[in-house]
């Protein structure tokens, strides 16, 4: 593949492996320099930063110190490594860490924040994470030194009176209303209100996890559109569960999207003895509990900003999940075919650099465009990947692709006018010389 480039590099596979060993020792300084360079060029917004974790699998059977058996995001029975990553408010990767696959996600955020403070000189920010990373310890940590947090809160895991409050049907406000009208969400016409969002908020002071008088603001939202989707999905699951009961099918992995979770299985008699037959039926109690949660989401924070601002910031959290998808689908970051720990870490450092360059270029390409006109990172990758050239000996390079608005915009953004009818040899040499200076 490297030989297909206009300026084909001259190095061997052994040179690449040797480079990985060197790169593994410079990962933190590399991230620092990348941040400094892009901060000056792109005016990066770091007042709000987003954190999440994912994992990457290896097609091996025996684990080692780094590649460990853990909870795989893809449900694969392979050893994995874990990546934690911060993203800034522009959607650009900020910093990353690599941990053994069996590491608790909650233990990864504070060490990386220390790197941001010590190396990047970033200490005042709002951290936005999902519920899996939002331990009380991490929340308290992010209320010091000018930091704060917005985290997704699991409603079932709330203490009693806080959970009861989130499930109340009365006293809801509609986001965007200029008056103080309140609603009973059990009486709403969901189809009519599906484009609106309803919310409740209040501060709680609770003794939680040995933390005395910990005060926190909860904002719980109700989305009629999401409630309708969940009800439709559950109806399908109930239908499938009834089919499983009829077939007496017991083998199934119970996940949140598995119809098997709605089946109650009894294998003992009333006397506690082993039953010859298994009684299977719908778990009505569980179904009712799920119905009570339809359309609900909850965030926790200690900020005093408006509800709209907090929900707007939290809504951008899905972008970091998209960054991970890009590494796995567009960059083919897994499975990883390296064995040594230093080379594995360097592999992910290269993925991080590629991701940062892609997102920075995407930001520049989309500058000045309306929201519905902006190009996705996948569209940009496809456009660039298809820009092949035929070489005319002694003359130059002729584009062997169809011109598009996006490809022209990419060339304009990069200040490389190579989408014309022909690029003369001397011009191509000038462009390559300019690129090598970057």
204-235: per-residue pLDDT in tens?
Answer: 987 665 666 678 999 999 999 999 999 999 99
The distance of Cα 197 from the centroid of its chain, to the nearest Å, equals 23
Query: What are the tens digits of pLDDT across the range 32-52?
Result: 999 999 988 888 999 999 999
Query: What are the tens digits of pLDDT across the range 111-127?
Result: 999 999 999 999 899 99
Nearest alpha-carbon partner for 80 in 58, 61, 64: 58
Q: Can you tell me the mean pLDDT for 12-17?
A: 89
Distances (CA, A) of 317 to 54, 90, 359, 401, 412: 14, 11, 16, 36, 31
What pLDDT was estimated at residue 275?
61
The rounded mean pLDDT for the chain is 89
Question: Whole-model pTM above 0.85?
Answer: yes
What pLDDT was estimated at residue 182?
95
Distances (CA, A) of 46 to 54, 66, 98, 307, 406: 22, 30, 22, 21, 29
The band of 422, judged by pLDDT with boundaries at 50, 70 and 90, is: confident
What pLDDT was estimated at residue 252?
58
What pLDDT was estimated at residue 343?
95
- Give the chain's length: 438
Pairing of strands 126-129, 48-57: parallel
The band of 273, judged by pLDDT with boundaries at 50, 70 and 90, is: low
Residue 314 has pLDDT above 90, yes or no: yes
Measured distance CA(275)–CA(128) in Å, rounded? 50
Q: According to DSSP H, which parts of 81-151 are helical? A: 109-118, 136-141
Query: What are the tens digits of pLDDT across the range 248-260?
Result: 776 655 566 788 8
Measured distance CA(362)–CA(381) in Å, rounded? 10
Q: CB-hemisphere CA count at 13 Å for 110? A: 14
Measured distance CA(145)–CA(180) in Å, rounded? 36
- By the 10 Å C-beta count (0-12 exposed, 13-18 middle, 19+ buried), 241 is classed as buried
Query: What are the tens digits of pLDDT across the range 296-306?
Result: 999 999 999 99
Return the ∠ at Cα 329 (arms to 325 and 331), rounded to 5°. 100
Query: What are the tens digits of pLDDT across the range 393-407?
Result: 888 888 888 889 999
Give percent of the chain above pLDDT 90.
61
What pLDDT was estimated at residue 364?
93
Q: What are phi and psi of 24, to 5 degrees?
A: -60, -25
Higher pLDDT, 148 or 273: 148
Query: What are the tens digits of pLDDT across the range 161-178?
Result: 899 999 999 999 999 998
The strand pairing partners of 15, in sequence order, are none
Higher pLDDT, 421 or 1: 421
Measured distance CA(435)–CA(54) in Å, rounded? 33
What pLDDT was estimated at residue 276?
65
What pLDDT was estimated at residue 393?
85
Cα dihedral across residues 81, 130, 145, 42: positive or negative: positive
CB count in 10 Å sphere of residue 406: 15
Q: Can you tell me the mean pLDDT for 422-429?
A: 88
Give 154-212 as a DSSP string.
-STTS-HHHHHHHT--SSBEETT-SS---B-GGG--HHHHTT--EEEEEEEEEEETTEE
What pLDDT was estimated at residue 271?
64
Higher pLDDT, 75 or 311: 311
Higher pLDDT, 84 or 262: 84
Q: Can you tell me the mean pLDDT for 71-76?
A: 82
């Amino acid at each position: 593949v490297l030989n297909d480039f206009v300026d084909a590099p001259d190095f061997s596979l052994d040179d690449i492996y040797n480079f990985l060993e060197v790169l593994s020792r410079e990962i933190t300084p590399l991230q620092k320099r990348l941040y400094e360079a892009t901060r000056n060029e792109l005016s990066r917004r770091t007042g709000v930063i987003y954190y999440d974790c994912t994992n990457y699998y290896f097609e091996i059977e025996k684990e080692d110190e780094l590649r460990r058996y853990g909870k795989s995001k893809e449900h694969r029975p392979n050893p994995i490594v874990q990546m934690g990553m911060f993203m800034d408010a522009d959607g650009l990767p900020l910093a990353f860490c690599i941990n053994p696959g069996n590491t608790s996600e909650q233990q990864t955020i504070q060490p990386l924040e220390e790197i941001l403070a010590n190396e990047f000189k970033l200490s005042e920010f709002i951290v936005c994470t999902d519920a899996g990373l939002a331990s009380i310890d991490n929340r308290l940590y992010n209320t010091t030194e000018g930091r704060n947090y917005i985290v997704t809160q699991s409603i079932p895991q709330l203490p009693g009176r806080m959970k009861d409050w989130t499930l109340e049907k009365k006293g809801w406000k509609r986001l965007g209303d200029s008056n103080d009208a309140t609603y009973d969400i059990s009486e709403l016409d969901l189809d009519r209100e599906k484009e609106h969002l309803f919310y409740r908020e209040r501060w709680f002071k609770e003794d939680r996890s040995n933390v005395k008088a910990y005060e926190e603001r909860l904002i719980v939202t109700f989305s009629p559109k999401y409630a309708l989707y969940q009800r439709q999905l559950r109806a399908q699951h109930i239908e499938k569960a009834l089919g499983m009961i009829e077939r007496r099918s017991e083998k199934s992995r119970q996940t949140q999207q598995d119809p098997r979770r709605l089946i109650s299985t009894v294998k003992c008699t009333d006397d506690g003895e082993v039953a010859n037959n298994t009684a299977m039926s719908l778990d009505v109690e569980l179904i009712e509990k799920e119905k009570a949660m339809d359309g609900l989401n909850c965030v926790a924070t200690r900020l005093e900003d408006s509800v709209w601002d907090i929900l707007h910031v939290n809504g951008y959290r899905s972008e970091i999940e998209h960054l991970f998808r890009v590494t796995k689908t567009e960059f083919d970051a897994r499975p990883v075919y390296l064995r040594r720990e230093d080379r594995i870490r360097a592999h992910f450092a290269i993925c991080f650099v590629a991701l940062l360059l892609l997102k920075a270029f995407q930001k520049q390409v989309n500058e000045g465009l309306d929201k519905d006109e902006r190009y996705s990172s996948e569209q940009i990758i496809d456009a660039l990947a298809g820009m092949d050239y035929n070489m005319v000996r002694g003359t130059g390079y002729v584009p062997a692709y169809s011109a598009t608005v996006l490809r022209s915009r990419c060339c304009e953004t990069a200040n490389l006018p190579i989408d014309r009818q022909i690029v003369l040899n001397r011009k191509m040499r000038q462009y390559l010389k300019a690129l090598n200076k970057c």
